[in-house]
Structure 1
Amino acid sequence: MIEVIPAIDLIDGKCVRLSQGDYDRCTDYGASPVDMAKLFLDNGLTRIHLVDLDGAKASAPRNLRTLEQIARLDGVEVEWGGGIKTDRSLKDVFNAGGTYAIIGSVAARQPELMARWLDEHGGERLVLGADVRDGRVAVSGWMEETSDTIDDLIRRFRPHGLTQAICTDISKDGMLEGPAYGLYERLDREFPDVIFTVSGGVSSIDDIIRLDALGMKRVITGKALYENRISLADLRRFVD
């Protein structure tokens, strides 16, 4: 059964969502991140996708206080993304209570550092974050495009113990048009030893049902939840 992971994206400590990674197309939902995390936990959703959009732009975590508050909640697991560029920032995220660290820009720009982190912390704590636009991986809050594909990154880091990857199709993110099903089917088929998280485009419970039927292991949903296109009651069928 697919695991549903609710997203909380942060700017200035507030819950927001971007459309296609564009900071100028930002919706502030006026909700407390901690209250949202509590609501998700109360409905059996224990793994939370927390993204520091300020940190992604600043190249250093900026919302660690919010991470600390959420990490104190009973039973929560937090996967944190945004601004992890140095040994210090990775340590800060883990010290603040992050269960998993999502590594994107470093994986593409400093592969030797990513490889060392995987060797030191293991694939059970480090997650490759590959945000894809037109087949290429984008970094720095989706503002810069690299020459790498997600396949390149996976092949590079599997020998160092990579077992988890979050792949976001930026063209789908925040657009509520449905995920890039073909992309995830292909990745799951070609790299069966890596657990992929579907990210971007989930618009309805039917999308999640279809992904589950395709055998996908994890899916992130954000905007569809905040805009009531998917209810927490809908998601109970995916809670053990």
Structure 2
Amino acid sequence: MRIIPAIDIIDGKCVRLSQGDYNQKTVYNEDPLEVAKEFEANGIKHLHLVDLDGAKSSHVVNWKVLERIAGQTGLHVDFGGGVKTDEDIKVVFESGAKQVTGGSIAVKDAATFEGWISRYGTDKIILGADAKDGMIATHGWLESSELEVIEFIKEWNKKGIEYVICTDIAKDGMLAGTSNELYKEILSQPLIPSRGRETKNGNPFPIGEMSAGQWGLKLIASGGVAVIEDLYRLREMGCEGAIVGKAFYEGRITFKELREFV
């Protein structure tokens, strides 16, 4: 399982929110590049970079931070927050992102998001499924939708999505443990084969025979990681990756523990 530290950006600074509340903000470092370099120096290879200003304003704001991190580290960066237009995603990839996460866009402008999957490929586009009471939330978690999170993931899986970051907003930044039941339910779902996955070992098989986990849905857990044991549990249930934020910054999980985990 990949360990993916999160760096959330407001006003160019590394911050963490609690439950997505912009009024519950803690600044951990004035320079996100310094934080990224520390992660890399300790063997981390991936980074989840979130433009919280962009998420709130519905357009990419902190692309210069991405450019600095991508240009001065070897980290594999996935970027989310405010990516709403073809111009936004072009700027993000040109600034050095390896993957882009889209959440609100997949709800509000499905045609554009589906176009990105076709244009850039399923290895470049991540579906952001941010859940609040089992329903999808959008626009930096400031708005709720009528979309149920599991059905939302299943619908996008049919359209080719493989990578999914699922965040339980109630857990995010609270250091209270992860939404294991939600992740187990997602990974146990019978999914309809998406493009290129209509056969099993070269042979056709009935729709619904395999679960999300068996299909190879790459589920990335996000929110609530507090101690190293949380990561072991997520790996055991079949998550492809886990995003870790406040547990790093508060010293709840050490780099030594991570090296042993890996």
TM-score by length of 2: 0.88
Mapped to 2, the partners of 1:202 and 1:155 lie a distance apart of: 25
1:67-86 Cα deviation digits (max 9, x unpaired): 00100134311010100010
Cα RMSD (Å) of the superposition?
A: 1.1
Deviating above 6 A after TM superposition, structure 1's stretches of 4 or more consecutive aligned residues are: none
Could you tell me which of 216, 219, 222 is aligned with 2:242? 219
Q: Which residues in structure 2 correspond to 1:174-213 (within 5 Å)?
A: 174-190=173-189, 191-192=212-213, 193=215, 194-213=217-236
Q: Which residues in structure 2 correspond to 1:71-220 (within 5 Å)?
A: 71-190=70-189, 191-192=212-213, 193=215, 194-220=217-243
- Counterpart of 2:172 in 1: which secondary structure? coil
1:135-190 Cα deviation digits (max 9, x unpaired): 10000000000111222322322233211000000000000000010111111121
- Counterpart of 2:26 in 1: which secondary structure? strand
Aligned-residue sequence identity (percent) comes to 44
Matching residue's letter, 2:17: L
Q: 1:31 to 1:228 in 2, by over 3 A?
A: farther
1:62-103 Cα deviation digits (max 9, x unpaired): 111110010013431101010001010011100100110000
Q: Is the 8 A contact 1:33 1:66 kept in 2?
A: yes
Q: After alignment, is 87-96 or 38-47 more displaced?
A: 38-47
Q: Is the 8 A contact 1:175 1:201 kept in 2?
A: yes
Say how many residue pairs are matched: 238
Q: Which has the higher contact order (CA 8 A, sep 6+)?
A: 1
Q: 1:34 to 1:74 in 2, by over 3 A?
A: closer
Q: Give the equivalent residue in structure 2 for 1:10.
A: 9
Q: Which has the higher Rg, Structure 1 or Structure 2?
A: 2
Mapped to 2, the partners of 1:238 and 1:122 lie a distance apart of: 31
Q: After alignment, is 70-79 or 173-182 more displaced?
A: 70-79
Could you tell me which of 253, 256, 261 is aligned with 1:230? 253
Mapped to 1, the partners of 2:121 and 2:145 lie a distance apart of: 25
Q: Is the 8 A contact 1:204 1:229 kept in 2?
A: yes
TM-score by length of 1: 0.96
Mapped to 2, the partners of 1:170 and 1:164 lie a distance apart of: 19
